[in-house]
A and B are shown apart, each in its own frame.
Chain A
């Protein structure tokens, strides 16, 4: 079975500081990994995805994530936080049966930006 662990249900950073949101996964097969963002009272929007083409993945809004197989991690970073980055972030792994079987999500990390 797949699983995703996001360390820290809440992360607070100052505006302009580095954002680091942690995600570790377990998967019985080579994983495909996703980061989604959810703004208040909205659905989820894809930030970026890892599909084995490159270990460093760039996404929207200045976010990027690095896949590290040895650490089973896929941490999300952004060099300089902006107030508009305040949201809930979810890491997800695709189930081995194929994308048709859905995604397994982590519990989410709420990112707080301090002015």
Chain B
């Protein structure tokens, strides 16, 4: 298994509070991604990174920001959490930007916003 960990694994928070989710990898992969998974929607890309300090928006980036100060860590921040951000969040990594390269997924973080 690819060395990807996510923390926390579960979190309950209240509307309006800031939340940061962490993705840590030990594979030294250049590309990292944050997805959210919701019933009936599959997985949707929030943000991705193609190197340290290099990030870009995905399909559902509103309300989220990211940072990558080290190769191994990719942080996802909800500046002011809303109930619509209740979801399961997955981090993924890839060693290459090639279209045929697979992505490896972390175990996920279940976030509940009350």
Contacts and interface: CB of A to CB of B under 8 A. Distances in A.
B41 interface: yes
Nearest to A108: B42
Given A42-B107, A45-B105, A49-B100, A100 B48 contact: yes
Contacts of A25: none
Q: How large is the interface on A (under 10, 10 to 19, 20 to 34, 35 or more residues)?
A: 20 to 34
Contacts of B4: 43
A90 B48 contact: no
Interface string B87-103: 00010101011111111
A9 B45 CA distance: 20
Contacts of A45: 105
Given A43-B107, A44-B90, A45-B105, A103 B45 contact: yes
Interface of A: 9, 32, 34, 36, 41-46, 49, 51, 90, 92, 94-96, 98-108
Interface of B: 4, 31, 33, 35, 40-45, 48, 50, 56, 58, 90, 92, 94, 96-108
24 contacts: A9-B40, A43-B4, A43-B108, A44-B90, A44-B105, A46-B102, A90-B42, A90-B43, A92-B43, A94-B99, A95-B99, A98-B99, A99-B31, A100-B31, A100-B97, A102-B45, A102-B48, A102-B58, A102-B103, A103-B45, A103-B103, A105-B42, A107-B42, A108-B42
